[in-house]
A and B are shown apart, each in its own frame.
Chain A
């Protein structure tokens, strides 16, 4: 196996040192959320970016993971940390069943089915009050006051998820996933059971997304169906994270996660209180404009088109240099 490259080590080292240098709970919080979104974005990217099965329903797995942790506390009386262990497998099981039903559909029809199932999960979580306490949500007591344990847990999850995707891509599974994305009919004729391998991809993806959900329950200490089964705040956010960073690239979702979480925070706080409060309502609009910009000019995302970004700038500098030289 190839040695891990220098930039990777530097980035990981910086992330490890970050909370030791930056004492502010606010910035630590933003980084914790960003790292959580690295996990969800990378997980979504494995299924959609590499296997070609676009999901609009990753909130299903996030919410399932979160509720596994939460219900462990309210129904079984066990610690929410068990969720970190159980959230992944339970989400995986849900993924397996959804895949078994939905992978009979291709392309946009699969995407539509995932939206529908996502909404079903949200509505069931709202209405099944005896189980979930509906919109009252689940409130637990945080284990730690300090952000540090949560930060390092989120960092470990993010590294584990990106590394898992990296390993998968260098295996038979990775080749099979990409072959299915490129042409499912060809994949079948070269001996690939597209159903089996799409299911495997979904299982890995839902496992990590479920872990992220369980982490969210532990960290935020409060969940309700509108938060964790949200179509636009979770399912679509996962897609945006990957699109901005670069669909079908290893590091794209990681970059996209930090950009999107920061953008969301900048708008939520109306540019840290510098602009009038109504600006905070505009974040969805800005996300929309950003997506239009990225799709129009950087169709492969920031990571996927990085050479284009730097190349274009380099070219422009050269042009201005040569014209001034003349």
Chain B
């Protein structure tokens, strides 16, 4: 059995099928890329995994838990962390308090949560800005805060939703380093990303979807050269 697995995952919004019979597995310690053109259903897949939307049919399996129908906060407690594509800092809290709030996931003590939060901030190189109000951060730092906050919940599986979008090339390079560092710390990652050189350089395997359906999967090089993938992104002649 895979570390993480979906089987025949389907989501309908009325007449629209956003995710259609999608089955894929992720192995422990992997960086797994989920790509596809705009509106292909990537973020919807994340919302299904974290229980933000109810699943129409199919199953989601994480370690030996079935995630179907579980509340979002329970899924987090089981060890699935996520970041949001549109960043959502807790605006009227400091950076540190943002991270402390999520570090309470597996402890009741403020002292312990604070220590965990400081560690996570150190790890993500955001420690110098810990006393800033979260609403005052630049977009790059907000994306970093998203990741820090997700890490502070101590996930085994981390879902990263376009954490590189809108960043400068320099910030992207730092972001790639950070993602590798997270994987080296033993956390499995599923990443949704549009920036191709990022996805090609860090992913172990990639799944490309369009209209909620799988069109290709495999090693980055295989997927990049797949005719269907190229057509989905660039259109046919």
List chain A positions with a Cβ less than 8 A from chain B.
Answer: 170-172, 175-176, 178-179, 182-183, 185-194, 248
Q: List 30 A-B contacts (CB under 8 A).
A: A170-B110, A172-B113, A175-B97, A175-B100, A175-B101, A178-B92, A179-B90, A182-B91, A182-B92, A182-B93, A185-B52, A185-B88, A186-B84, A187-B101, A188-B52, A188-B71, A188-B73, A189-B50, A189-B52, A189-B73, A189-B76, A189-B82, A189-B150, A190-B76, A190-B105, A190-B149, A190-B152, A191-B105, A192-B101, A193-B71
Which residues of chain A are near B153, meaning CB under 8 Å?
190-191
CB distance from B115 to the nearest CB of A (A): 14
Of chain A, the residue at the smallest CB distance from B146 is: A186
Question: Contact at B76–A175, with CB atoms within 8 Å?
Answer: no
Question: Contact at B97–A189, with CB atoms within 8 Å?
Answer: no
Taking A175-B97, A190-B101, A191-B153 as given, write out 4 further A-B residue pairs in contact, using a Cβ cutoff of 8 Å, ordered by the A residue number: A179-B93, A187-B73, A189-B150, A248-B92
Interface residues of B in 77-104 (CB under 8 A from A): 77, 81-82, 84, 88, 90-93, 97, 100-102, 104
Residue of A176, A185, A186, A194 with most chain B CB atoms under a 10 A cut-off: A186
Which residues of chain A are near B82, meaning CB under 8 Å?
189
Which residues of chain A are near B84, meaning CB under 8 Å?
186, 189
Given known A-B contacts A185-B88, A189-B82, A190-B76, A178 and B71 have beta carbons under 8 A apart: no
CB distance from B31 to the nearest CB of A (A): 20
B44 part of interface (Cβ distance < 8 Å): no
Q: Could you mark each residue 97-130 of chain B with 1 if its beta carbon is under 8 Å from any beta carbon of chain A, else 0?
A: 1001110110011100100000000000000000
A-B interface, 6 closest residue pairs, ranked by CB to CB distance from nearest: A190-B102, A182-B90, A188-B72, A191-B76, A191-B105, A179-B101
Residue of A171, A178, A179, A190 with most chain B CB atoms under a 10 A cut-off: A190
CB distance from B74 to the nearest CB of A (A): 8
Interface residues of B in 52-79 (CB under 8 A from A): 52, 71-74, 76-77
List chain B positions with a Cβ less than 8 A from chain A.
Answer: 50, 52, 71-74, 76-77, 81-82, 84, 88, 90-93, 97, 100-102, 104-105, 108-110, 113, 149-150, 152-153
Report Cα–Cα, A187/B52, bound state, in Å: 12
Of chain A, the residue at the smallest CB distance from B77 is: A191
Interface of A is mostly: helix
Residue of B52, B88, B90, B109 with most chain A CB atoms under a 10 A cut-off: B90
CB distance from A108 to the nearest CB of B (A): 19
Question: Contact at B104–A172, with CB atoms within 8 Å?
Answer: yes
Of chain A, the residue at the smallest CB distance from B72 is: A188
Report Cα–Cα, A175/B102, bound state, in Å: 9
Question: Contact at A176–B73, with CB atoms within 8 Å?
Answer: no
Which residues of chain B are near A191, meaning CB under 8 Å?
73, 76-77, 102, 104-105, 153
Which residues of chain A are near B91, meaning CB under 8 Å?
182
Which residues of chain B are near A248, meaning CB under 8 Å?
92
Of chain A, the residue at the smallest CB distance from B107 is: A172
Which residues of chain B are near A178, meaning CB under 8 Å?
90, 92-93, 97, 101
Which residues of chain B are near A176, meaning CB under 8 Å?
101, 104
Given known A-B contacts A189-B50, A189-B76, A172 and B108 have beta carbons under 8 A apart: yes
CB distance from B144 to the nearest CB of A (A): 15
Which residues of chain A are near B104, meaning CB under 8 Å?
172, 175-176, 191
Report Cα–Cα, A186/B71, bound state, in Å: 13
CB distance from B172 to the nearest CB of A (A): 24
Report Cα–Cα, A75/B77, bound state, in Å: 48
CB distance from A147 to the nearest CB of B (A): 40
Report Cα–Cα, A248/B93, bound state, in Å: 12
CB distance from A180 to the nearest CB of B (A): 10
Report Cα–Cα, A179/B146, bound state, in Å: 14
Which residues of chain B are near A183, meaning CB under 8 Å?
88, 90
CB distance from A285 to the nearest CB of B (A): 32
Which residues of chain A are near B149, meaning CB under 8 Å?
186, 190
Question: Contact at A194–B73, with CB atoms within 8 Å?
Answer: yes
Which residues of chain A are near B81, meaning CB under 8 Å?
189-190
Report Cα–Cα, A185/B46, bound state, in Å: 14
Pick the residue among B52, B73, B88 that contacts A193 (CB under 8 A). B73
Which residues of chain B are near A189, meaning CB under 8 Å?
50, 52, 72-73, 76, 81-82, 84, 150
Report Cα–Cα, A178/B84, bound state, in Å: 19
Report Cα–Cα, A175/B76, bound state, in Å: 17
Residue of A178, A182, A191, A192 with most chain B CB atoms under a 10 A cut-off: A191
Report Cα–Cα, A178/B94, bound state, in Å: 12
CB distance from B205 to the nearest CB of A (A): 25
Report Cα–Cα, A188/B74, bound state, in Å: 8
Which residues of chain B are near A170, meaning CB under 8 Å?
110
CB distance from A250 to the nearest CB of B (A): 15
Report Cα–Cα, A179/B50, bound state, in Å: 18
Which residues of chain A are near B90, meaning CB under 8 Å?
178-179, 182-183, 186
